[in-house]
């Protein structure tokens, strides 16, 4: 019997940007052991998706062409494979696919049951599809790398969040406030009031001299920087750090890796810490719980139907999203 087909968006080689994305009809994948088939309701775009297409992470990603990009999705379980224990047909879920294989820009995707969480009824597909890469990264940076306890039981830390208006940054501001931190944030002038509304104590326009120097308006030195922007050298951070301050770098380039090694070898108190998000289902469940309790929200920059996925792609490449970009099949 011929396999049933679905609409998907894929690319066949490195490069090409939005024009490299092609709309195709491909077979609906079949769930294997411990996997489920999800009918996708929303998928969010992350910068890593188009960085993979650009070849910035080759030869690790993608594993092979053609590649359907996108990893963060929300939808409904429509079929379960053998051995699935915790999910059933009809469950609303949030999931993260593996960057090696992608599969998100499509009507259906197969997901390992270990890579998903149940979605509370009161939360929408769009606001929860936005969570996996961006919010899990913000959570890991704050709790694991910066040592902030989100129940507010750690002593107040001074935290700087760069690019606070982006996907990761807007979650980091909210989570840092849950952790009782004093938050200084950088963003463009148009987003200052928005970032204050998320709870930031001080917000600086990154295009002003104070913003370029990352200077806290009240003269605070930072115990940790959740560095979501790119292209800021260590020499800019160092004078703004407290005696044991850390820069948690989400996009470490060659220079940052050299600084990381040098600071380690010289036993410096001030450190650069490269971060690579590692998925944990319990962390996704925790974020969904915070969202359900009204303690965390997703700000949606823009939504596109799957038929216009290339516009979502271009929007992310522009680097000017405020919050998250969503595609809805
Ligand atoms: N290591 C990991 O595991 C991991 C995980 C997730 C993300 N990342 C990386 O983290 C970075 C941030 O990701 P994201 O999803 O948050 O990006 P994003 O949503 O595309 O960020 C866009 C936002 O950044 C702001 N921005 C850009 N340059 C800035 C600067 N110098 N200072 C202040 N704000 C600035 C823009 O503001 P304007 O429009 O006003 O310019 C825009 O609102 C990316 O490089 C991504 O690849 C790494």
Each residue's pLDDT tens digit, 137-191: 999 999 999 999 999 899 999 999 999 999 999 999 999 999 999 999 999 999 9
Are 184 and 216 in contact by the 8 Å Cβ rule? The answer is: yes
Q: Kind and range of the H or E element at 2?
A: none
Q: Tell the burial category of 265 from Cβ atoms under 10 Å away from its Cβ (0-12, 13-18, 19+).
A: exposed
Which pLDDT value is given to residue 60? Answer: 86
Is any atom of ligand 1 closer than 6 Å to the C-beta of 195?
no
pTM attached to this predicted model: 0.98
Q: Answer yes or no: is pLDDT of 257 > 80.
A: yes
Residue 317 pLDDT level (bands cut at 50, 70, 90): very high
Output the CA 9–ligand 1 centroid distance in Å. 24
Q: How far is the CA of 132 from the centre of ligand 1 (A)?
A: 15
Q: Would you identify the CATH topology of the domain 5-119+299-327?
A: Quinone Oxidoreductase; Chain A, domain 1 (3.90.180)
pLDDT tens digits for 202-232?
Answer: 999 999 999 999 999 999 999 999 999 999 9
> H or E segment at 135?
helix 132-140
For ligand 1, is residue 62 a contact (CB within 6 Å)? no
Ligand 1 close to Cβ of residue 228 (< 6 A): yes
pLDDT in tens, 73-118: 999 999 999 999 999 999 999 999 999 999 999 999 999 999 999 9
The beta strands (E) that lie in 196-323 are given as: 202-205, 222-227, 241-249, 271-274, 300-305
Paired tokens of 289: 């719980």
Q: How far is CA 20 from CA 10, 26, 68, 120, 313, in A?
A: 8, 17, 11, 36, 10
> What CATH number does the domain located at 133-274 have?
3.40.50.720
Interval 39-65: pLDDT, tens: 999 999 999 999 999 999 988 888 899
Q: How many residues does the chain have?
A: 329
Report the C-alpha gap between 143 and 150 in whole angstroms: 7
For 146, which DSSP code? S
Q: Are 74 and 97 in contact (CB under 8 A)?
A: no
- Token pair for 64: 């092979």
Least confident of 127-131, 149-153, 196-200: 149-153
Q: What percent of the chain has pLDDT over 70?
A: 100
Q: Where do the domains of the chain lie?
A: 5-119+299-327, 133-274
**Distance from Cα 249 to the centre of ligand 1, integer Å:** 11
Residue 11 pLDDT level (bands cut at 50, 70, 90): very high
Ligand 1 pocket, residue 108 CB under 6 Å: no
How many angstroms does the Cα of residue 186 sit away from the middle of ligand 1? 11
318 Cβ inside 6 Å of ligand 1? no
pLDDT computed for residue 218 by the predictor: 97
Give Cα separations from 86 to 113, 118, 287, 295, 314 (angstroms). 7, 9, 19, 26, 37
Q: What is the DSSP string of 7-28?
A: EEEEBSSS--GGGG-EEEEEEP
β-pairing, 5-10 with 300-305? unpaired
CA distance 213 to 296: 30
Q: Are 193 and 205 in contact (CB under 8 A)?
A: no
**Residue 50: half-sphere exposure toward Cβ, Cα within 13 Å:** 22
Q: Take residue 89 and report the two structure tokens written for it.
A: 């047909």
Ligand 1: residue whose CA is nearest its atom 15: 167
> Would you state the pLDDT for residue 3?
84
pLDDT at 2 over 90: no
| Contact call for residues 23 and 61 (beta carbons, < 8 A) | no
Contact 325, 301 (CB under 8 A): yes
Select from 168, 273, 317 the residue to mutate for testing ligand 1; criterion: most ligand atoms less than 8 Å from CB: 168
Residue 1 has pLDDT above 70, yes or no: no
């Amino acid at each position: 019997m011929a396999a049933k087909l679905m609409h998907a968006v894929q690319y066949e080689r490195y490069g090409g940007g939005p024009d490299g994305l092609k709309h195709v009809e491909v077979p609906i994948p079949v769930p294997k052991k411990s996997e489920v088939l999800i009918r996708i309701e929303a998928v969010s775009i992350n910068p890593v998706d188009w960085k993979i297409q650009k070849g910035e992470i080759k030869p690790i990603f993608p594993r092979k062409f053609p590649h359907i990009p996108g990893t963060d999705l929300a939808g409904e379980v429509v079929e379960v494979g053998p051995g699935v224990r915790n999910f059933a047909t009809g469950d609303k879920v949030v999931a993260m696919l593996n960057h090696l294989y992608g599969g998100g820009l499509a009507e259906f995707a197969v997901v390992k049951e270990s890579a998903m969480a149940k979605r509370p009824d009161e939360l929408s597909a769009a606001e929860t599809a936005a969570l996996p890469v961006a919010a899990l990264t913000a959570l890991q940076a704050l709790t694991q790398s910066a040592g902030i306890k989100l129940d507010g039981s750690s002593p107040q830390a001074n935290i700087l969040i760069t690019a606070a208006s982006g996907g990761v940054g807007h979650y980091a501001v909210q989570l840092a406030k849950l952790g009782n931190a004093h938050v200084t944030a950088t963003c463009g002038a148009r987003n200052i009031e928005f970032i204050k509304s998320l709870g930031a104590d001080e917000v600086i326009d990154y295009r002003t001299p104070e913003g370029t120097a990352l200077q806290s308006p009240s003269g605070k030195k930072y115990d940790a920087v959740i560095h979501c922007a790119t292209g800021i050298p260590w020499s800019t951070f160092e004078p703004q750090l407290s005696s044991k301050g850390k820069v948690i770098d989400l996009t470490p380039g060659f220079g940052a890796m050299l600084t990381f090694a040098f600071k380690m070898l010289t036993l410096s108190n001030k450190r650069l810490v490269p971060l690579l998000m590692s998925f944990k289902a319990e962390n996704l469940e925790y974020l969904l719980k915070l969202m359900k309790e009204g303690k965390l929200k997703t700000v949606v920059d823009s939504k596109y139907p799957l038929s216009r996925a290339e516009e979502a792609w271009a929007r992310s490449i522009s680097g000017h999203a405020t919050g998250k970009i969503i595609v809805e099949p």
